[in-house]
Amino acid sequence: MKKIIIVDDDPAIQNAFSLIFDPLLYMVTVYSTAAPILNGEYDLPDIYILDKQLSGVNGLDLCIYLKSGAATKHIPVVMISASPDITRLAEYAGAAAALEKPFRMKRLREIVLEYLQ
């Protein structure tokens, strides 16, 4: 079973993300803040999905943090944001992919599948 960690502080988006991934194939963990990741209070996933706009730590900074860690640098990160610059910013932060909000959930699922194969 593949593990997905989602960090997004919007409850509606958290619910939507939890519903689009088949619970028989994916174990989805959702955090509202970056704190559990920064404190090492989680099991390593197969992929991260991070919102750029988070309370406290910016999602891009969290991505840079993950990409600088020996245990996490190989794990793909997908950045999501309403910012029109997200593709460029995500690339700079080391993310594997980026999606600008609003986006189709099907497209997110396709990106996740691409990186988990």
As averages over each run of 10 residues, the pLDDT of the chain (117 residues) reads: 94 84 91 95 96 91 97 97 92 96 90 93
Task: State the pLDDT at residue 30.
Answer: 94
**How far is it, in rounded angstroms, from Cα 100 to Cα 3?**
23
Domains of the chain, each with CATH number or no CATH: 2-112 (3.40.50.2300)
* CA distances in angstroms from 84 to 22, 30, 31, 61, 73, listed in the order given: 30, 24, 24, 18, 25
Beta partners for residue 2, in sequence order: 26
Predicted TM-score (pTM) of this structure: 0.95
Task: State the pLDDT at residue 113.
Answer: 94
Sequence-separated (6 or more) residues with CB below 8 Å from residue 16? 105
In this structure, how many other beta carbons lie within 10 angstroms of the beta carbon of residue 105?
A: 12
Phi then psi dihedrals of residue 93, to 5 deg: -75, -10
